[in-house]
Amino acid sequence: MSNSFAFKPVCFFVSLFLAFTACEQKSVPDSTTTLSDYFSSAEASPKSGGVRLIPIKTPKGEFKVWTKRFGNNPKIKVLLLHGGPACTHEYFESFESFLPQEGIEFIYYDQLGSAYSDQPADTSLWNLPRFVEEVEQVRQALGLNKDNFYLLGHSWGGILAMQYALKYQQNLKGLIVSNMMASCPKYGAYADNVLSKQMDPKVLKEVQDLEAKGQYTAPRYMELLIPNFYEKHILRKPSAEWPDAVNRTFAKVNSTIYVSMQGPSEFGISGKLEKWDVSADLPKIKTPTLVIGSSHDTMDPEYMKWMSTQFPNSQFVLCPNGGHMSMWDDQEHYFPGLLAFLKQK
């Protein structure tokens, strides 16, 4: 859950191997899955390219959520939990340039209320326990289990992943917490005491004045934040150069859900997640865990490093050049660290 997902501004990879004609015999590196197996499909006709709309039951009735499987590996299946809340799967498209060539299956998933999934208007649905149960229903529908199920949560998705693991870790083979702290109060304090102090005092004062007036959607608010906050801590490139996948994600954010759970401010949390803190519960998660942090993140990198010492079976990867979306601005560290974790026996 990042302040990035309040911002609403505003590829598919070409080929895996040049020698694709030999795919029947050639094995994917470091995997027992052949290319023909990886690209196999058990879908009934007409084939959908891996897309499935999964029905989920909620206290307010049944809805459908959108998923898309990429590849097939019986031992490594990574379900991706996007940030926000209420962002979209699209900013994970950078994974297509790294995971398929290693034979790793991954599954895009728009959570209820996001992008291609149903978007009910009942605000009582937007709470963490219900989202946890949604993930469990998606797991069951996709046939994921303790022998193959890796759960990767980025930002708000990291909150959801940790909360899921605290209840359902018996279903997991591995957990990846990407760019998220285990404490919203500590996250808010880091934004207030560290990140805000790095801004030009005049810029910070104008931002705070706009927030005091409740003018979060004013054009000037984003005019200030984009160069002074987003380009420094969210995705460390000029916003004009941000990837299309990221812009498509931000263009689809469901602001009703975001504000309900995170709150409207860039410096602190005021929504339903304001007091969420599982720092003391991390030792209960015995599942092999990878924590990924970034030196220029909106999240405190030192806290995320500390987090990795609290899980009993954990590793830590630091992206020294990255911001909150280090799968884009520090791919040199993000993906080697992730792949090494996924390919462990």
Angle at 232 between CA 227 and CA 235, to 5 degrees: 100
Rounded Cα gap, residues 241 and 216, in angstroms: 24
154 belongs to the catalytic site: no
Q: From 338, 235, 342, select the one nearest 291 (Cα to Cα).
A: 338
297 belongs to the catalytic site: yes
Task: Indicate which residue of 324, 326, 330, 333 is catalytic.
Answer: 324
324 belongs to the catalytic site: yes
Task: Indicate which residue of 2, 4, 114, 155 is catalytic.
Answer: 155
Compute the radius of gyration of the chain from its Cα atoms: 20
Task: Indicate which residue of 297, 300, 329, 330 is catalytic.
Answer: 297
Rounded Cα gap, residues 164 and 166, in angstroms: 5
221, burial (CB in 10 Å: exposed 0-12, middle 13-18, buried 19+): buried
CA within 13 Å, CB half, 102: 21
3-state SS of the chain is CCHHHHCCCCCCCCCCCCCHHHCCCCECCCCCCEHHHHCCCCCCCCCCCCEEEEEEEECCEEEEEEEEEECCCCCCEEEEECCCCCCCHHHHHHHHHCCHHHCCEEEEEECCCCCCCCCCCCHHHCCHHHHHHHHHHHHHHHCCCCCCEEEEEECHHHHHHHHHHHHHHHHCCEEEEECCCCEHHHHHHHHHHHHHHHCCHHHHHHHHHHHHCCCCCCHHHHHHHHHHHHHHHHCCCCHHHCCHHHHHHHHCCCHHHHHHHCCCCCCCCCCCCCCCECHHHHHHCCCCEEEEEECCCCCCHHHHHHHHHHCCCEEEEEECCCCCCHHHHCHHHHHHHHHHHHCCC
What positions carry a catalytic annotation?
Answer: 155, 297, 324
